[in-house]
Structure 1
Amino acid sequence: MGQGHDHGDGHHHGPTLSPDAPESERRSKERAIAIAAGLTGAFMGAEVIGGLVSSSLALLADAGHMLTDFASLLLAWLAFRLSRRPADWKRNYGFDRFSVLAAFVNGLSLFAIAIWILVEAVQRLREPSEVLGGLMLWVAVAGLLVNIAAFWVLSRAEGDNLNVRAAALHVMGDLLGSVAAIVASLVIIWTGWTPIDPILSVLVVLLILRSAWSVLKESGHILLEGAPKGFDRRAISEDLAANVDGVARAHHLHAWSITQERPMASLEVDLEPGADHEVVRRAVKERVQHLSGVRHVTVEITGEMPSKA
């Protein structure tokens, strides 16, 4: 009985990059994350002060969202740094999974912030308080400009990393939250109707929860070793038996992801009598790669099926 393993095209440990990406490109993306984090963190403090002084819940809600943005960006940056560390005997895949764990933690923190904002909004609607619309307006406009700058920086850091995408969603939500705060401040200045502040803060909460659920769902799926998106092991097993010469049966097919960019698959193959082990192994790997897009495929030849003759 022949037996062996055939791995895919190798590992890569960059959170958004291909294995062959140059170091300069990695550092460029890491720098973009650091700039966005710096912009967000610096303005977050100013927005908290402005929200407290003006008594604006919308500003405080946006500042709470910016706090999660700042944490998300810091974790994304840290994931870039950690991903440089090579795998060792204790951590076979290095530190790539850290970025997924960070995204999951960011999603949970978004839910906590959202609950706090909702409680405060209900309290403000029951007991309205004075809001300084003028100060609120200037802080909100400044926040919008900062969020636009941060989103522009992130949009230039191309890639499909879950943690960076989560951070970009945070910033987009913040950008819309700043718009809501501007609208609330204008309504207060023109009409004096302060309930618009907690009402629009609830709108920010809905934006937060939408982003949070998306991040939690995808990161949780990866942490639970769920199959990569679009990977149907039943269909692939049937396809291999039908379309790859020498394959009698494909079984024990498993697929998972180390990170969003590092899907992997393994399977066992029973051969038809007389089939060449190496030829079939290469053909199976290429077929799985073609059907699923998974580059790292481990194929184990478990033996030959008995002849029907």
Structure 2
Amino acid sequence: MNNDQLSGMRFFEVTVLNAVITILEFLGGIFSGSLSLLSDAFHNLGDSISIVLSYIAHRISKKQQTKQNTYGFKRAEIISAFLNSLFLILISIFLIIEAISRISHPETIDGPVMLGVAIVGTIANFVSAFLLNKGAKHNLNMKATYLHLLSDSLSSLGIIFGGILISFFNWTIVDPIITILVALYIMWESWPIIKKTVGILMECAPNLNYAAIKKDLLKINGVTSVHHVHAMMVDENSIVFSAHVNMKDMPLSQVQLIYDQINKLLKGKYHIDHVTIQPEVDRGRHDDLFYDNGKDI
């Protein structure tokens, strides 16, 4: 079984689990009167939608490049990760507002029902998170989905704790407090993904040691200067790099040998996937590494 088949199977299993949890928590929240349980149900509903979107984006990202999409479709997963994380933050803001309202106007809650549903939800959420854990280490899209599920698992643990306190001590104020804490945690975990995906979509430069790159390139025999560098990420794992490289005046056949050395260096040491070099003799020799005169692209 290949990785795509495995990913598809896991996405399907997690989607089914989340659909069951969502229905269970909606019913449990309605019958128990627990806001944290209802909020977790809405959260799980969002997870189910995000899982489907993530899988669709994952399949789209595997499509071959075309003349309209010359870098392929890898950013489909970046867009999915951004939308999933943004959705989590918006849901969290809504839950905090509703929880503050509940603190001012507490409602009666059936602790045992809340506790039982939370236990079942916690087990299912941890199973779902476990299924996607491996892929989340190297893929922002799967990481965003994994964080959805992990945050659900932690929120369910909080609901269990709240259910115990409500069942034995009738501390109903615990319910909105747990809701606020879980919402803040979700926002805290989602923000780095928002920041990174926006950076990729805005074609911000990846975190490379550009001074070291220039130093290494100048060590190659025949290279005299490096300027006008551009770098961006197609997705979180694919770096595109271009530069103007000044060389000694030589035949094109020799330039090609130098380019091969540059390509090998950048791919091997700095893990850059796509390298484009513009060879020059004197033009731009004294320009800065990052060319900036207010109109360059």
- Would you say same fold, with TM above 0.5? yes
Give CA deviations for 1:92-128 in whole Å, capped at 9, x if unaligned: 2232211111111112111210111011111110011
- Secondary structure in 2 matching 1:258: strand
Where does structure 2 lack aligned partners over 5 or more consecutive residues?
285-297
- Secondary structure in 2 matching 1:244: coil
TM alignment of 1:125-164, pairs within 5 A: 125-157=103-135, 160-164=138-142
Out of 81, 88, 91, the residue aligned to residue 69 of structure 2 is: 91
- Secondary structure in 2 matching 1:257: strand
Q: Which position in structure 2 is the counterpart of 1:11?
A: none
Q: TM-score, normalised by structure 2?
A: 0.89
Preserved contact between residue 66 and residue 174 of structure 1 (Cα < 8 Å)? yes
Residue 282 of structure 1, CA deviation: 1.1
Out of 290, 293, 309, the residue aligned to residue 271 of structure 2 is: 293
Letter in 2 for 1:233: Y
Give CA deviations for 1:16-67 in whole Å, capped at 9, x if unaligned: xxxxxxx822211222122212211221122122112211111122223223
Q: Which position in structure 1 is the counterpart of 2:233?
A: 257
TM alignment of 1:11-160, pairs within 5 A: 24-157=2-135, 160=138
Residue 197 of structure 1, CA deviation: 0.5
Q: Which position in structure 1 is the counterpart of 2:197?
A: 219
Q: Which position in structure 2 is the counterpart of 1:240?
A: 217
State how far apart, in whole Å, the 1-side matches of 2:136 and 2:106 are: 44
Letter in 1 for 2:119: V
TM alignment of 1:1-12, pairs within 5 A: none
- Secondary structure in 2 matching 1:179: helix
- Secondary structure in 2 matching 1:86: coil
State how far apart, in whole Å, the 1-side matches of 2:63 and 2:247 are: 40
Q: Which runs of 4+ in 1 moved over 4 A?
A: none
State how far apart, in whole Å, the 1-side matches of 2:209 and 2:76 are: 26
Letter in 1 for 2:234: I
Give CA deviations for 1:252-286 in whole Å, capped at 9, x if unaligned: 21111111122211112110244820121111112
Preserved contact between residue 107 and residue 216 of structure 1 (Cα < 8 Å)? yes
Percentage of identical aligned residues:
30
RMSD of aligned Cα (Å) = 2.1
State how far apart, in whole Å, the 2-side matches of 1:93 and 1:281 are: 21
Q: TM-score, normalised by structure 1?
A: 0.85
Out of 166, 171, 180, the residue aligned to residue 188 of structure 1 is: 166
Count of aligned residue pairs for this structure pair: 283
State how far apart, in whole Å, the 2-side matches of 1:172 and 1:127 are: 30
